[in-house]
């Protein structure tokens, strides 16, 4: 038996099995209250407890490949050449996940990083950042 061509009244009359009250409860359509989503301002949670979570901040200045012999012969004040040159951008990572590009600065004889970009656009990639 196919119910595709039945009207709503025909289906209701089949389910109710007549109008006899003594035969049991009638089947009725479910009625739901209208759903109203909560306002965004009311659902914001305070995440200030995350302010003290420590993260590993890493800046990759460059890399160099050297042999074990060269490692064993290292001495104080020796300079190791890296694969980047002055003016190249550096990668800024948080917990080993790329975050931004930056520039190395020297402030009062202390190294620092100035964030230059949070996007991976082609200009920055072409200047040497990986």
Q: What is the pLDDT of residue 7?
A: 80
Q: What is the pLDDT of residue 89?
A: 83
* Distances from the Cα of 68 to the Cα of 65, 72, 73, angstroms: 10, 6, 9
The per-residue pLDDT string of the chain (130 residues; one tens digit each, 9 = 90 and over) reads: 566 677 877 777 777 655 555 555 666 778 888 888 777 665 567 888 888 899 998 888 888 899 999 989 999 988 888 887 777 888 888 888 888 888 888 878 887 888 888 866 554 455 555 4
In sequence order, the β-bridge partners of residue 110 are: 107
CA–CA dist 9, 110 (Å, integer): 83
CA–CA dist 95, 118 (Å, integer): 16
Q: What is the pLDDT of residue 124?
A: 47
Length of the chain: 130
pTM given for the model? 0.45
């Amino acid at each position: 038996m196919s119910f595709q061509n039945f009207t709503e009244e025909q289906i209701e009359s089949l389910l109710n099995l007549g109008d006899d009250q003594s035969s049991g409860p009638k089947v009725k359509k479910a009625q739901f209250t209208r759903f109203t989503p909560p306002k965004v301002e009311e659902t914001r949670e305070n995440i200030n407890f995350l302010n003290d979570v420590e993260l590993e901040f890493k800046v990759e200045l460059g890399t160099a490949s050297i042999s074990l012999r060269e490692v064993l012969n290292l001495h104080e004040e020796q300079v190791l050449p890296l694969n980047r040159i002055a003016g190249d951008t550096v990668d800024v990572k948080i917990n080993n996940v790329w975050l931004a590009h930056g520039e190395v600065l020297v402030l009062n004889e202390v190294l620092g990083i100035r964030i230059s970009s949070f996007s991976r656009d082609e200009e920055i990639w072409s200047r040497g950042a990986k």
